[in-house]
Structure 1
Amino acid sequence: MTMLLRRLLLACTGLAALAAPAAAQPAPQRVLRVAPHADLRTLDPVVASITITRIHGLMVYETLFAWDSRLTPHPQMADRHEVSADGLTHTIGLRDGLRFHDGRPVNARDVVASLGRWMARDTTGGKLREYLASLDVVDDRTIALKLTKPLGMVPFALGSAVGAIPVIMREEDARTDPHTPITSAIGSGPFRFNRGEWRPGARVVYDRNPDYVPRGEPADGLAGGRQVKVDRVEWQIMPDPQTAAAALQTGEIDIWEQPSQDLLPLLSRGRDIRVERYTSLSNQVMLRPNHLHPPFNDPRARLALAHATDQADFLAAGFGDERFWRRCNAYFVCGTVNGTEAGAEAYAVPNLETARRLLSESGYRGEPLVLTTSYDIAPIGRMAEVAAERLKRAGFNVDLQVADWGTVTTRQQNRNPPSQGGYNLFVTYASGATMQSPLTNIGTNMGCERAWAGWPCDAEAERLRNAVVEAADEPARLAAVETLHRHLAQVQPYRVLGQFDQPYARRANISGVLDAPVMLYWNIEKR
């Protein structure tokens, strides 16, 4: 073959290649990259009520009902809810298309087992269980929940997005002891947990569930259609705020879930960055004592905490600029319908003399008190430092012990004495949606073994909480809330340290973040 002929053949081949249709290329994955506020260590959203596990749970699992942005419940997994004429029997049917990630249809037996496990752990679930006569399977897609008294709280409780959430698990998972965390993460929700790519301390991955059938209604908070508009969500663990800020500025991540308050002015100036609130309810900060062991098994020692602390010291250390926080002594969050401060007026200004007297009367004699904390969530670590310093002025001998957040939250469940791996105190915060109601507030549940970490035990508080649940109308309910609050102010299940607004930061090409108690990752678009 001559050189000229070879050149002609090559030219024709090139022209043919240009003329031929290009081979189909796979579409690039739409990956949403997020710096979450903490690392995921516990996969079980019934055992762990911490926010990071709750967000994980809401991605992987679903609930029978779901709260909208106004905390009003709507059917989610349910498509039918009927209440008997006497108000005692709630019959709930499952909607079409519900399948677990392993392919098995969701069955009423899964629902009954899941709700039973949740009721054994959660503040709201425990309250519902007090009025439960039976919880039965009617058929494969229907359950019957029977009460001893008529209650309007059933849909609200079964749609809870706070505390331990009433997610529907496979029956075999839900039969696990409610105090033993399950290690699987197979739900029926819009995302699948990618265990193969899970790297604790580094990365958590969720893939869009291609078999998920969303509801037809528009998304509103946790309610409505959970439309997933990305292929994959990656949580990139970045405990260092400077690293997370730089990653957001360069586009390495799309969302920073809880940006450091001192970096907000810098982020706000970025042309491609938006700083916004994802919920209209303020968060509440608390100093939680362990009621099982001295000195905080005595209410006088707990009252000493209230008199020894100035909320402004904690909030300024944790959240900086005062425009992001406010003093508030309401257990049920200032600015909400339940936000009374009745009975707590004496704690507005610290009184060290009163604190020292009460502490002495409680029998405390200077024993070391373990305050466990972490700097993985920077505001919590900074506020724990303030607690250690301020409480020492009142006569508390505080031993500040720092660990990673996963270790701290695991230790919070340890009922042993502090010398055997337990603790005396910790600082934390919870969403306004969690704390705004006596039904959902995890800290004011004083039901002994059924209570949240710290395990307060007070029969009168529980009687007054029941009065709120059973109130005949709204005026009666609000009066019952005030009576309850006055009692709580005297027994101090925890020291309220005020409240704050936590914005998130996103790249400008991200849209669709919903107003909800926690950050949600459905409905988000990445352009």
Structure 2
Amino acid sequence: MTAAATALIAGTPLAAQTIDVAIIGEPDTFDPMISTKDVVSIVTQHFVETLYTFDESWSVVPLLAADMPEISDDGLTYVIPVREGVTFHDGSTMDSADVKASLDRWIEVASRGRSIAEQVESIEATGDFELTITLSEPYAPLMSLLAFSNSAAAIYPEETIAPEIETVIGTGPYMLEAHEPDQYTQLVRFEDYTQPTGAAERQQIPEEIRFVPVPDPNTRVEGLLSGQFDYADGLQTEAYDRIESSDTAEPVLLEPFGWPVFAVNHKQGIMTDLTIRQAVQAALPFDDMLFAAFGDEKFFQTEGALYPEGWTWRTDAGTELYNQNDQEKAASLLEEAGYDGEPLRILTSRQYEFHYQMAEVARMGLEMAGFTVEMDVVDWATLAQNRDNPELWDIYITHSPFLPEPALISSLFSSAREGWDNPEKNEILNRFTSEADPEARQEIFAELQQIVFEDVGLIKVGNFNALQGQSAGLEGVTPSPWPAFWNAQPAE
């Protein structure tokens, strides 16, 4: 146990300290319920909390809930005990009315909440500190959805609930002290924080955490190496050797991390044509795209399965359609589709430099097949705004960590911004989410992955390992796609 943690437990005041974190850009909201962006999750998880969370092994554990729910035998009723004595940052006390109002909003405005809205029959406060969720049909991933910090089922005071929340009030170990747009977000310890027990414990070691938006990845690296930042997210893999050989910093490699994805516009534009989608899938040179993005095979794997080796959900279903790199086949498909040269619009950003590098190589492969390609390169905040308007893009580039529950992959749902509303896929997805038996769910997931490839619901590029960096000797930060800093302690 660290000295700081020992002091905290003993009741000794902690030394004043600040953790400075370089993030890839400015969070465009402090309301994680309405955002799926990692940069929003990273910041807001420190001051906004959910009923449940994930431990280090991706098991769901209580956070604002007092215990795991009591689930009826038919899987339709979840009775959730709510922790007593929890204080919001405005001084009010949380009860089940706050939880009900928050979850009611979640199924209305959050992409993950909307994905299950049709299955939610009612959300009721059945006691001052008890909530009951009743479903119209079983939904196996419900607990994972309630635990995720991305499009989060966040708990706010009932009085603040509105379609748009201007001032976010949470229950977390830190509270928002100041926000200077494009400069920093300052969080300070919430002294009245009520500590959860067990795996969700949050020690509040730093007195202050500052998140600094640094859009340029090279600047994030230089700031880490100079000691300006204690932690830096989203680093280019080319910086690995420099950081490793430095006396001031250490690389943090998340292996495997996740998958870059070309998200497909199924609502309007040329990608609504299946044959055009199949032509894109056939033309893309994934090996070259990944090499351009990451430069060294220790940072990527050319693999089409939606989950890597060692994961429960691993299946090779449909992967014969992955990495065809066949521009002649793609050209034939374009001719079959009657393609007239309409531009294929790719929306991307350089704040994740590997997105842009993949897009450039993809453009060359697509043009060889006969596509006219139009690149729209914008900052990440603009991309996040423009991708919500289906008139502005045909493909946008993003990435996702490997998530513990496939139902957390929002692109699979017709309610997502991509609008993939294939009836056969919807039926498979409905069977998958309503099935409780783990082995049966694995078999259904193989069907789901098969149709992802056959209908080109989305385009996975491959697997990649993500690079972050921390100051030498920093302790208490568990490597994660969403690193948390409540237990962070710099080297003495």
Query: Which residue of the partner structure matches residue 266 of structure 1?
Result: 242
Query: Match for 2:89 among 90, 101, 107?
Result: 101
The alpha-carbon deviation at position 463 of structure 1 amounts to 0.9
The question of 1:52 aligning with 2:28 is answered no
Structure 2 residue 410 is matched with structure 1 residue 442: yes
| Alignment match, 1:253 | 229
Is 1:467 the counterpart of 2:455? The answer is no
Equivalent residues in 2 for 1:376-395, closer than 5 Å: 376-395=351-370
Distance 1:84 1:456, change over 3 A: closer
- Tell me: CA distance 1:281–1:63, structure 2 relative to 1, closer, same or farther (3 Å): farther
1:135 paired residue number: 123
Give the 3 Å change call, closer, same or farther, for CA 411–172 of structure 1 in structure 2: farther
Deviation per CA, 1:117-163, whole angstroms, max 9, x where unpaired?
Answer: 3223556534443332211111332211112334443322211234x
Q: Which of 292, 304, 308 pairs up with 1:329?
A: 304
* Residue 226, structure 1, aligned to residue 213, structure 2: no
2:261 counterpart SS class: strand
Q: Does 1:75 align with 2:62?
A: yes
Cα distance in 1 between the residues matched to 2:353 and 2:192: 39
SS at match of 1:213: coil
SS in 2 for 1:315: helix
Q: 1:501 to 1:289 in 2, by over 3 A?
A: same
Q: Tell me, in whole angstroms, the C-alpha distance in 2 between the residues paired with 1:444 and 1:152.
A: 16
- Cα deviation, residue 352, structure 1: 1.0
What is the distance in 2 between the residues matched to 1:101 and 1:363?
Answer: 59
User: Which residue in 2 is equivalent to 1:408?
Assistant: 383
* Equivalent in 246, 252, 255 of residue 276 of structure 1: 252
Structure 2 residue aligned with 1:168:
155
Task: Report the CA distance shift for 1:173/1:344 in structure 2 as closer, same or farther (over 3 A).
Answer: farther
Instruction: State the match for 1:354 in structure 2.
Output: 329
Name the counterpart of 2:372. Answer: 397
Alpha-carbon distance in structure 2 between the residues aligned to 1:284 and 1:480:
21
With normalisation by structure 2, the TM-score equals: 0.91
Closer, same or farther: CA 243–131 of 1 in aligned 2, 3 Å: closer
Is the 1:332–1:438 Cα contact (8 Å) retained in structure 2? no
What residue in structure 1 maps to residue 343 of structure 2? 368
Highest CA radius of gyration, 1 or 2?
A: 1
Q: Contact 2:22–2:212 (CA<8 Å) still a contact in 1?
A: yes
Q: Displacement, 1:329? A: 0.9
The root-mean-square deviation of aligned C-alpha atoms, in Å, is 2.2
1:490-509 per-residue CA deviation (whole Å, 9 max, x = no partner) reads 11111110010112111123
Which moves more between the two structures, 396-405 or 488-497? 396-405
Give the unaligned 5+ runs of structure 1.
Answer: 1-25
The count of residues paired between Structure 1 and Structure 2 equals 478
1:115 match:
103
2:89 corresponds to which letter in structure 1? H
2:399 corresponds in structure 1 to 429
CA distance in 1, matches of 2:96, 2:436: 32
Structure 2, unmatched stretches of 5+, are 1-12
| Cα separation, 2, equivalents of 1:304 and 1:38 | 34
CA contact (8 A) 1:432 1:517 kept: no
Q: Which moved more, 1:321-330 or 1:42-51?
A: 42-51
Using the alignment, how far apart are the partners of 2:218 and 2:135 within structure 1? 53
**Deviation at 1:261?**
1.0
In structure 1, C-alpha distance between the alignment counterparts of 2:352 and 2:77, rounded to whole Å: 44
Work out whether residues 276 and 337 of structure 2, in 8 Å CA contact, stay in contact via their aligned partners in 1: yes
Q: Which residues in structure 2 correspond to 1:290-309 (within 5 Å)?
A: 290-309=265-284
SS of alignment partner, residue 443 of structure 1: helix
Moved more, 328-337 or 301-310: 328-337
Alignment pair present for 1:66 and 2:53: yes
| C-alpha separation in 1, matches of 2:323 and 2:258 | 19
8 Å contact kept, 1:284–1:333: no
Any conservation in 2 of the 1:68–1:516 contact (CA below 8 Å)? no
Instruction: Check whether the contact 1:258–1:502 (CA below 8 A) recurs between aligned residues.
Output: yes
- Measured after TM superposition, the shift of residue 391 of structure 1 is 1.6
Q: Deviations 1:323-360 (Å, cap 9, x if unpaired)?
A: 01001112344542212131121323311122122233
